Structure 1
């Protein structure tokens, strides 16, 4: 058993299959929203002005407008959820609430391409926050008010600045474990910046102010700051989880005594403190949301700021009339993939699985194959769970972010997860499922991310279809006894090493590949004039090292 010493340990529901959201990109929309909510809490919800800074060498200066970072961030600053129906108009709502904002690009030396630097101001106080979007809606806050911190939104966070700590010798002998016990908290960290000291207190429940006053041996010269959790599954310290990589799982002598979905349930029960029934019920709900999204797409979608229109209806009509080539279940998978991507592009509700840009392959394959096999929602949910565990292995060792790894990180992960899900639906073993996942990811190595017109539609639709087609092929191959040769962990590491050599232009910056073709640039110019929706309702990018201020 592994001791869960890291509170940011991956959860299937937090980090892999989820969040339930709106927007074209989870690493832009959902992650930015979570960052915005934490920033809002820094000033107790009394937000009047925010400065948003992006490093000029990162991905955000080129993508924050068109890929939904602004939409998500503004929604978070308003305290909304990632699936709020008002999100496409969040900029106007921010202005209507009297909150001024400005963007600034500069050379800040940020190592991660998805770094947000926020300065939030209320009537009585102001704070700074630095956070990164790590892919699939996952985040990490790395700095608050120049104090180095580490938080992912899974805890209730309480921040206490200490008065004149240099003259208080007790800070040198502070027993953080004892103080955490007295506060009924999970962790107490001492954070320092120059001569200043701050306590970061992480707890599963909100700490009462009276408890803090009674237990802390110092006075705080500033208001105590509380940050509410933004993740559905709370961080759970001191839990023991059975594995975090595929090799630890598959090296067990009894690995094939249980299907992969049961190992996934065991993992999430330990990670989240849930019962088996709770894990299954949560995933059944996700299956039902995915089905509703696909049905919505098939009924037709409209949205001004999009490259592709409603195409799934035409595919369905041709399929039903027998005018398409006979591809068996794959045709239904292509239909469902297209419908889901159309919902995403029209700001409908989707599930990041593992990301919004790659949201369609897994639900399309599982729901289409589930119908073909006459499976219940619970059986389909078990396949989703098997997929989720593959995602845990990928997210723990690498990333889902296209800004980090290109589309091999998004589409490749979706293909691997879908392949394992399909093997599970067919009654295959854990070894076969993980082998299919490895084979599917191998087939996607080197895939770049080059969104046409800086929108997450083309070639994203085709890459979701490729991921699904790849998944069903690899699932059948492994069920038939084909050898994937390279184990999954080694394949994930190979993908990581490939990403480190991938140029910035091919990692979701819209600066290379299809994104820079004349047709793509022409479409982007046209969409900038559409006047509503994600991207178009946000301020246009400003020149580097300058400011663009929007206020009411």
Structure 2
């Protein structure tokens, strides 16, 4: 039996297997050797197979966990199975595109470290992201760039699908972006071509997510609209190439790295600040890249966007990641656009990005659990929200179809 938790950003962590505490993030090939007694098995395995980690776990069953960049070889496996102490062997494949490894080294892990690393290089933010990912994943710079191109195309495809309209029975909101698109074409909206395109793309992406379509959890499923909506919306409005938008997403990812390392993407920990707030900061840096701004302006834009989102709560209506999630994704995307323009105009962000991210962590720690994706506070407990929740729950009972919340 396996127990796992969501850690945000489309990530999970396995925390228990067969009653034994474990820590698995899907970034190793995992071999589990179930045993009657450990004896000298651990030492034997270490001497027979090069692995990153090996540990003994005892719960309802006892097993030896082996983490490596590959499964144990057939010869070693057959040798183990022939031993009286060994019951059977299970294998768990990695799910992440980039594997972990022992003694993993990266060029930097904070914004200040990145600036120090860049002192004699004068690289742009997207280039620093390529440096980081290339070293982290032991892959070529071109592979990093092309992987991000794949991600961009998934995002673009989701937006295109959303603009054609989406259908899904078990949701609160319908395809509202269709009406927005028509009003935009008919000049019935307040002028602001780029901003309206950002709103449209963000809405379309969120509707595809709510229709269970394929999206990129960037930084999370619940905040998947803001980053692509802003970057692709601005990029298309400016008539920029696919390569330029790839660079913008790489720059955005660098901001996300710092947030993931020192704060959180999980609404269960930091409310919507952790999700839409992070997406907004990431998008702001990406937009600076689209406009050819400087590294300092990108970091300033990210800082201002995050500052604007501190303390934002997560209070989903009826446990569906739709409302007020759609509004907040749009707010995050438009906030990113505004903060990018402010940074391009050399507005003073005052607080360095590292310190803002540290503040995100402190604010998240201080937030009550009722406002962190639990459905126990905020809009989630209003009279109307409870009526919507009851109506949807009745539908689940009638169809014998349980619903599982996903932040």
What's the TM-score once normalised by structure 2's chain length? 0.92
Structure 1 residues 204 and 322, CA gap change in structure 2 (3 angstroms): same
**What stretches of structure 1 of length at least 5 have no aligned partner?**
1-118, 120-128, 542-552
User: Is it true that 1:377 corresponds to 2:242 in the alignment?
Assistant: yes
Q: 2:28 aligns with which of 134, 139, 155?
A: 155
Higher mean C-alpha displacement, 229-238 vs 511-520: 229-238
Structure 1 residues 253 and 355, CA gap change in structure 2 (3 angstroms): closer
Q: CA deviation at 1:219?
A: 4.7
Contact 1:250 1:431 in 2 (8 A): no
Q: What is the alpha-carbon distance in structure 1 between the residues aligned to residue 102 and residue 314 of structure 2?
A: 36
**What stretches of structure 2 of length at least 5 have no aligned partner?**
none
Contact 1:190 1:197 in 2 (8 A): no
Structure 1 residues 253 and 401, CA gap change in structure 2 (3 angstroms): closer
> Could you tell me which residue of structure 1 aligns to residue 384 of structure 2?
519
> Could you tell me which residue of structure 2 aligns to residue 146 of structure 1?
19
Q: What is the alpha-carbon distance in structure 2 between the residues aligned to residue 286 and residue 431 of structure 1?
A: 26
> Could you tell me which residue of structure 2 aligns to residue 4 of structure 1?
none
The within-5 A match list for 1:97-246 is 119=1, 129-165=2-38, 168=39, 170=40, 174=43, 179=47, 182-185=48-51, 187-193=52-58, 198-214=63-79, 219-246=84-111
Higher mean C-alpha displacement, 403-412 vs 192-201: 192-201
User: Is it true that 1:462 corresponds to 2:327 in the alignment?
Assistant: yes
Q: SS of the counterpart of 1:285?
A: helix
Q: 2:339 aligns with which of 453, 457, 474?
A: 474
Structure 1 residues 539 and 135, CA gap change in structure 2 (3 angstroms): closer
Q: SS of the counterpart of 2:249?
A: helix
What's the TM-score once normalised by structure 1's chain length? 0.69
Contact 1:163 1:221 in 2 (8 A): yes
> Could you tell me which residue of structure 2 aligns to residue 537 of structure 1?
401
Q: What is the alpha-carbon distance in structure 2 between the residues aligned to residue 348 and residue 339 of structure 1?
A: 11
> Could you tell me which residue of structure 2 aligns to residue 395 of structure 1?
260
Q: What is the alpha-carbon distance in structure 2 between the residues aligned to residue 435 and residue 157 of structure 1?
A: 41
Q: 1:292 aligns with which of 145, 153, 157?
A: 157
Q: CA deviation at 1:481?
A: 1.4
Q: What is the alpha-carbon distance in structure 2 between the residues aligned to residue 398 and residue 388 of structure 1?
A: 15
Contact 1:240 1:271 in 2 (8 A): yes
User: Is it true that 1:311 corresponds to 2:176 in the alignment?
Assistant: yes
- 1:494-534 deviation per Cα after TM superposition (whole angstroms, max 9, x unaligned): 1111111211111111111111111111112222233599x
Q: CA deviation at 1:361?
A: 0.7
Higher mean C-alpha displacement, 218-227 vs 430-439: 218-227
> Could you tell me which residue of structure 2 aligns to residue 65 of structure 1?
none
Higher mean C-alpha displacement, 244-253 vs 322-331: 244-253
Q: What is the alpha-carbon distance in structure 2 between the residues aligned to residue 421 and residue 536 of structure 1?
A: 44
- 1:107-150 deviation per Cα after TM superposition (whole angstroms, max 9, x unaligned): xxxxxxxxxxxx3xxxxxxxxx3322111121222332333322
Q: CA deviation at 1:312?
A: 0.8
Q: SS of the counterpart of 1:224?
A: strand
Q: 2:356 aligns with which of 491, 494, 497?
A: 491
User: Is it true that 1:329 corresponds to 2:194 in the alignment?
Assistant: yes
Contact 2:220 2:265 in 1 (8 A): yes
Contact 1:411 1:467 in 2 (8 A): yes
Structure 1 residues 201 and 216, CA gap change in structure 2 (3 angstroms): farther
> Could you tell me which residue of structure 2 aligns to residue 425 of structure 1?
290
Q: CA deviation at 1:466?
A: 0.8
Structure 1 residues 277 and 194, CA gap change in structure 2 (3 angstroms): closer
Q: SS of the counterpart of 1:210?
A: helix
Contact 2:57 2:65 in 1 (8 A): no
Q: SS of the counterpart of 1:141?
A: strand
> Could you tell me which residue of structure 1 aligns to residue 220 of structure 2?
355
User: Is it true that 1:434 corresponds to 2:299 in the alignment?
Assistant: yes
Q: CA deviation at 1:251?
A: 3.2
Q: What is the alpha-carbon distance in structure 1 between the residues aligned to residue 224 and residue 100 of structure 2?
A: 25
Contact 2:81 2:87 in 1 (8 A): no
Q: What is the alpha-carbon distance in structure 2 between the residues aligned to residue 540 and residue 198 of structure 1?
A: 31
Q: SS of the counterpart of 1:240?
A: coil
Q: What is the alpha-carbon distance in structure 2 between the residues aligned to residue 219 and residue 528 of structure 1?
A: 52
Contact 1:305 1:536 in 2 (8 A): no
Structure 1 runs (4+) deviating above 4 angstroms are 194-197, 213-219
- 1:341-362 deviation per Cα after TM superposition (whole angstroms, max 9, x unaligned): 1111111111111111100111
Q: SS of the counterpart of 1:374?
A: coil
Q: What is the alpha-carbon distance in structure 1 between the residues aligned to residue 364 and residue 99 of structure 2?
A: 31
Q: What is the alpha-carbon distance in structure 2 between the residues aligned to residue 344 and residue 486 of structure 1?
A: 34
Q: What is the alpha-carbon distance in structure 2 between the residues aligned to residue 539 and residue 195 of structure 1?
A: 30
Q: How many residues align?
A: 405
Q: What is the alpha-carbon distance in structure 1 between the residues aligned to residue 59 and residue 369 of structure 2?
A: 35
Q: CA deviation at 1:183?
A: 1.2
- 1:433-455 deviation per Cα after TM superposition (whole angstroms, max 9, x unaligned): 12211111111001000111221
